[in-house]
Structure 1
């Protein structure tokens, strides 16, 4: 079952090819009404801070890569959770990673605020599964 909600997505991944694929997969869903691609945690935080003043583009779903330079996904989450509580509580976060590191899986499982852990590459079946959890 696909969610009836209209989803605004934010993909955070330093790999442009991965973001291109993610955008292509997301565009195939009628539930997704906007797609933003960010190539770093810093860029995403700046975007989210702007959403505090202009909520028209505020995502309600973030797909987050873990392994990124400068600021990895876990570091992004630390800063994200420090943003405005209302903003943070309205956004679901999904880890989208190729990581097989047990430490990453343990961190995911111990963080009850995260919606899901999806293995790269994103495909339509995985996207539909996540969207069903959002709705």
Structure 2
């Protein structure tokens, strides 16, 4: 398996450090991206995205958890929709959750800026496919 070209910058927004560690390992093993950033809640990520100094290091793909402290995935999406026009870059967002609640799935699908809803844990094959779809 080789890097899907061009290399994507990946952002993981999740408060579960063990999950982030596992996802980073999987991305590394599958050689999907050498560039990975992590945030433990939506507010940290929004602060990063809105900082003009970070304009050249915006992610291509975001893996977004729903349930987090400070600002959850829904709050992140509300803020993201407002700042998206200023970013000047297409960012693919996958909402990733262990929730199989139909309300969560339908709510995510109703937000046009969310590309897909993915149930945790993400299998290696699914991860590779998500990167292909975002290419």
Relative to the length of structure 2, the TM-score reads: 0.88
Task: Tell me if the contact between 1:116 and 1:130 (Cα under 8 Å) persists in the aligned partners.
Answer: no
Task: Tell me if the contact between 1:92 and 1:134 (Cα under 8 Å) persists in the aligned partners.
Answer: yes
Matches within 5 A, 1:3-82: 3-50=4-51, 52-82=52-82
- The 3-state SS of whatever aligns with 2:95 is strand
Task: Tell me if the contact between 2:81 and 2:113 (Cα under 8 Å) persists in the aligned partners.
Answer: no
| C-alpha distance 88-110 of structure 1, shift in aligned 2 (>3 A) | farther
How far, CA to CA, are the matches of 2:10 and 2:115 in structure 1?
14
Task: Tell me if the contact between 1:6 and 1:31 (Cα under 8 Å) persists in the aligned partners.
Answer: yes
How far, CA to CA, are the matches of 2:121 and 2:81 in structure 1?
26
- Structure 1: any 5+ residue segments left out of the alignment? none
Question: Which structure's relative contact order is higher, taking Cα pairs within 8 Å and 6+ residues apart?
Answer: 1
Q: What displacement does 1:119 show? A: 1.1
The number of residues matched between the two structures is 134
- The 3-state SS of whatever aligns with 2:132 is helix
| C-alpha distance 86-133 of structure 1, shift in aligned 2 (>3 A) | farther
Relative to the length of structure 1, the TM-score reads: 0.88
How far, CA to CA, are the matches of 2:129 and 2:29 in structure 1?
14
Q: Which runs of 4+ in 1 moved over 6 A?
A: none
RMSD (Å) for aligned C-alpha atoms: 2.0
